[in-house]
Amino acid sequence: MQDILAMTYLWLKAGHIIFMVFWMAGLFMLPRQMIYCHEAAAGSEEEATWAKRMGLLRKIILTPSLIVVWVLGLALAMSIGAFDQGWFHAKLLFVLLLTGFHGFMVAKSKAMSRGDRPLSEKQLRLYGEVPGILLAVIVVLVIVKPF
């Protein structure tokens, strides 16, 4: 029985990491695609192409990966009893921030797909750095478990 539980844990962990990589890739790509859309002339074919690409990124990569990461992450946390550990509470806070960032960027990309320009190119370039910073903090919390 112990072997089955150990294997289940490893499969959950592998899936969690795989879909976390997909999610992060999408979060790195979305601001860049938004910059390209921002640069396109309003109402142009190029703008429509970037709007379509942003929509596909959201529907095929970002949202499904977000859901799978959360489901597998919570299953992992339950399997190791992480809910009473300080590092996990901190990780959960940063994952919630990353999820909020995801929602914010999705909303802004949908506005851009409608022809609005809610963010400047400079803001988009700065927002492009947010996932990397949050990822670094989350990885340190998981690996080092400082508290």
Query: Tens digit of pLDDT for each residue in 93-103?
Result: 999 999 999 99
Q: What is the mean pLDDT of residues 113-131?
A: 97
Q: What is the mean pLDDT of residues 12-21?
A: 98
Q: How many residues does the chain have?
A: 147
For residue 16, say whether it is annotated as part of any ligand binding site: yes
**pLDDT at site 93:** 98
Domain span at residue 96?
A: 2-144
Which tokens sit at 12? 């959950």
**pLDDT at site 1:** 62
For residue 102, say whether it is annotated as part of any ligand binding site: no
**pLDDT at site 12:** 96
**122-130: long-range contacts, CB 8 A cutoff, minimum separation 24:** 124/31, 124/34, 124/35, 124/38, 125/31, 125/35, 127/31, 127/101, 128/28, 128/31, 128/32, 128/35, 130/101
pTM: 0.93
Q: Which residue has the tokens 């809910």?
A: 83
Q: What is the number of domains present in the chain?
A: 1
